[in-house]
Amino acid sequence: QTKWRLGKPNRVSGQCSLDYLNSAVEFLKKKKISALVTAPVCKEAIAKFQPHFQGHTEYLADHFNKKNVGMLFVAQNLKTLIVTRHIPLKRVSQSITSSLLVKSIQMTDQALKDYFKIKRPRLAICGLNPHAGENGLLGREEQRIIIPVIKKLHSNRLHIEGPFPADTLFCPDKAKHYDAIIAMYHDQGLIPIKTLYFHKVVNLTIGLPVIRTSPSHGTAFDIAGKNCANPASMIEAIKLAAQLAP
């Protein structure tokens, strides 16, 4: 018999979380529901039952047999896509390839057209390195990968600018000129948008054949049972899913 402690996940709670997710996926596939809003889960607890579980995004991509999916974070007029997701920071540079970057930008462009009815999205892209590499002085990923990709996509008539230093691109006076910002890695994109709009940020999975949203925060076990959680991000996730649902 499992002993339950408030705010303390275990293998059984992880299994239950996965069971609930699987049921929701079946409802989606059978068209019993129009959209999916997922609550935060403990990846560690699920991984005890399902090894190598990385998160909802990757799990849903596998279930729907989609290789190219993305996490687009939406808050008021600011939208941010992260090119790499839940990987160690030391692996970010080697994970950013021309192919991945092209797919990420194209997915974002299409999502803005499909979901937000923006006819010609204006995209800005962050550099990977400080000061966007300072012309190769602080890293050459911009010269080797990011700039050639931007030039290639210009020829495909995509409106994309950069790479810009990430520490200034998210400033409201700069960000207001773009419909979305492409960030190279998790914290580069999420720290600014959560700092500006923490309780309003929604994670929208793009690249799936269904609508899936979630609040932008985690499980917050440290406040479990204290009656102080703020539901605003979950409310925004539900509202966005209802807005986008077919």
Whether residue 2 is predicted with pLDDT greater than 80 in this model: the reply is no
**Which pLDDT score is estimated for 3?**
78
- pLDDT tens digits along 189-202: 999 999 999 999 99
- State pTM to two decimals: 0.92
Whether residue 74 is predicted with pLDDT greater than 70 in this model: the reply is yes
When pLDDT is cut at 50, 70 and 90, the band that residue 180 belongs to is: very high
Half-sphere exposure of 235 (CA within 13 A, CB side): 7
Range in 2-16, 27-41, 218-232 the model is least confident about: 2-16
**Which pLDDT score is estimated for 11?**
84
Bridge partners (DSSP) listed for residue 5: 8
**Which domains, and CATH codes, for the chain?**
1-64+218-232 (no CATH), 67-207 (3.40.718.10)
The full 3-state SS of 38-52, as one line of letters, equals: CCCCCHHHHHHHCCC
- Ranked by mean pLDDT, the top range of 14-18, 79-83, 217-221 is 79-83
Token pair in block for residue 179: 């419909």
**Which pLDDT score is estimated for 170?**
97
Q: Which of 72, 33, 40 is nearest to 55 (CA)?
A: 40
Average the pLDDT over 20-39 and give the result: 96
- pLDDT tens digits along 137-148: 999 999 999 999
Residue 162's region, left for phi above 0, alpha for psi from -120 to 50, else beta, is left
**Other Cβ atoms within 10 Å of 120 Cβ, number:** 11
E strand or H helix that includes residue 95:
helix 92-95
Question: With contact defined as beta carbons under 8 Å apart, do 213 and 203 qualify?
Answer: yes
The 122-126 sheet, strands edge to edge = 35-37, 211-215, 202-206, 70-75, 78-82, 180-183, 122-126, 159-164
**Which pLDDT score is estimated for 115?**
97
Whether residue 9 is predicted with pLDDT greater than 90 in this model: the reply is no
Average pLDDT, the chain: 95
- CA–chain centroid gap for 85, Å, is 7
